[in-house]
Structure 1
């Protein structure tokens, strides 16, 4: 990683998340000089693996290789020697009948599947609308269906476009990286020329060269690939000169929802809880968590919260996610678990200054903003990131693939005859 910024490069890539690293990897043999500018002190963006206790691996950000049969990180993991765990996710299971017996689960998933079918039919119409309009009136499971949306989209259904949800490609195959998804992405980015702790303030595209102003000085570039989260474009943490109102408006139509995780150490020598089990909290309300019991067989429980409830827990301060998780688990499994559980770590993505959320969703009427955000400007400014993916948005591999797409566009633009 360079000690100092170069004064001029062919391609400057803004952001060292999966998209920026995907772009850098695709350009490595292009003959073009490149630099990746990253505001954090690490690569990976919203992918970050930590080891909060011996023997416990915790992905604070993305953790599942969604649509694994089409996920480009599978081949990368194989090349880099990362083992893939193909244990199916336990999301449609409940390891204990406490609070959610089998008969009720069957009824709930029938209601959820029927809702999904209604939204797919609605998406065939020309009018984009909120997914909440297709909840069955007075259905007892509507609050829990909204909770599922808070996990999947980072927000409740009244903020979700039906056209956008229909565009998402889910093959139903979900695997994991035993050493951590964030660790895999960090290893993928290791060969890339990254300048850490380098925050970009302004991109001036008024002259023949792009002028990029950063916390470590100014550099000039012929082409630039912007891969930062939509939140930073919408709130103009990065400014463009001349202004790009279409990009700012598109980013605002694709806000980041909030999803957070908490890791609890489990003192249970008898292993009373099943490996890779599942537990849901209060099933008749939206404000509830979901719990992955002993992931990979580790002595821990991973909790997951989404939407406005996750935001409220972040606002409540450090430890609020863990306290809520422990209360829900104790209510379901008994008071003995209060002494068996110890908070280890938790994420706070909405309060992360370089993300301000987890992953993007399209607001009702804004599904088309993904294509608007992805479009190049003057064959010099290119845009990538999970929010620009047409079918794998909100995923790490969607972000990586978009970076590769932007890199191809850069190389094509370089080959075009100069006017």
Structure 2
């Protein structure tokens, strides 16, 4: 760990792997270090829990027609479901299924919420998304639920201006063998001999000299440049010390982009208990109990006898705090309402996520707080280079101006940070 590197990349998620692979292919002496015992970060396909691939983190190839990872999946022969919408085929209302008129009214309300928030941002208003909600709508709980799934945050903590900056083609393709597996395969194809060290957290970054020194429990690494591809929460909570201290403008930016909560509950059954086609989407909303939060499911994903429930915002964070059993009970109760109590006996195994409780990550994905949307731009390579002497750059989904919260956004920022370093190295050599 005492060697001198051209570049050290901190974090081996989608951004860090992309940055490291590009630098390695360019012949740069680069090392990627990762605090966790595995690589991938929030791109994590789990095959150990059930013997079936399912994504604990990112899952959909968002904006698929312009998503470079979709093109990579084609090249690698990794299949996905080309479906233009995640809209539920059906909605269960606690004791019955919504009829066709209700289902259309529900999605009109949800789409209306998305449109109202987007329109406010398009008009330049940086206000809370909650100010755009139709409080009289009978489907308000589902509208709020879907907004939390999109942003990982409660509407009161969502900037309309930031929301409107997101670029979306409405093409969301689930990856059959897992998005996490795709991210790993892309990095392995690009740079199979990439130098990666896991279980190696960075405790401090000293950028006071001509280069950068990164202190870890396994020694100090020195490099000419560092790319920090870590979640905003890691920096905001001070898990990495900076010498000199992080510039105030960047401190403010990291604080303005907290990670919200987006969690999953996965249930494996011993057979198909739903009688639904592969990869069927179902929403639930209990009209009998106004205090009960909605949950939506992917049923029989790619034909596997499973249900994967999605939770967002405060409800997700609260259930994680309550524990895995509470999460499973919450999800199973909704499934029992819709498909009958007999399915309880068919549960073979369960698994839950806990991204908000993971000290190395601390949440799902970033969303700017109301009034603070412009601060995201401070994390761009050019802005950070100016603030930190050109020696330290940041990458990750939060750095992306228009594809934040996505794996492809993280991937592209990793490439951009690597390109910025390559340009600096070439300029120094000229």
Select the residue among 205, 214, 217 that pairs with 2:216. 214
The 10-residue stretch of structure 1 (308-317 or 71-80) with the greater mean CA deviation from structure 2:
71-80
The 10-residue stretch of structure 1 (406-415 or 87-96) with the greater mean CA deviation from structure 2:
87-96
Select the residue among 319, 334, 340 that pairs with 2:325. 319
Structure 1 unaligned spans of 5+: none
TM-score of the superposed pair, with normalisation by structure 2: 0.91
The answer to whether residue 13 in structure 2 is matched with residue 11 in structure 1 is no
The answer to whether residue 420 in structure 2 is matched with residue 409 in structure 1 is yes
Change (3 A) 1:136 1:96: closer
The 10-residue stretch of structure 1 (132-141 or 14-23) with the greater mean CA deviation from structure 2:
132-141
Change (3 A) 1:358 1:297: same
**Superposition map of 1:204-353 within 5 A:** 204-244=206-246, 245-268=248-271, 272-282=275-285, 287-353=293-359
Give me the whole-angstrom Cα distance separating, in 2, the residues matched to 1:134 and 1:167: 17
TM-score of the superposed pair, with normalisation by structure 1: 0.94
TM-fit CA distance, 1:340: 2.2
Deviations 1:204-229 (A, max 9, x none): 01111211101211011101111100
Q: Secondary structure at the match of 2:174?
A: strand
Equivalent residues of 2:114, 2:147 under 8 A apart: no
Counterpart in 1 of 2:81?
A: 85
TM-fit CA distance, 1:365: 1.1
What CA RMSD, in Å, does the superposition of the two structures yield over aligned residues?
Answer: 2.0
Give me the whole-angstrom Cα distance separating, in 2, the residues matched to 1:272 and 1:83: 24
Select the residue among 322, 346, 371 that pairs with 1:365. 371
Select the residue among 398, 407, 410 that pairs with 2:409. 398
Q: Secondary structure at the match of 1:397?
A: helix
TM-fit CA distance, 1:71: 0.9
**Superposition map of 1:68-217 within 5 A:** 68-94=64-90, 98-190=96-188, 191=192, 192-217=194-219
Change (3 A) 1:168 1:15: same
Q: Secondary structure at the match of 1:56?
A: coil
The 10-residue stretch of structure 1 (280-289 or 21-30) with the greater mean CA deviation from structure 2:
280-289
Counterpart in 2 of 1:385?
A: 396
Give me the whole-angstrom Cα distance separating, in 2, the residues matched to 1:346 and 1:384: 28
Give me the whole-angstrom Cα distance separating, in 2, the residues matched to 1:118 and 1:58: 33
Give me the whole-angstrom Cα distance separating, in 2, the residues matched to 1:124 and 1:95: 31
The structure with the greater share of residues assigned to helix is 2
Give me the whole-angstrom Cα distance separating, in 2, the residues matched to 1:122 and 1:391: 17
Deviations 1:162-186 (A, max 9, x none): 0111111110111122211111212
Change (3 A) 1:268 1:27: same
Equivalent residues of 1:15, 1:227 under 8 A apart: yes
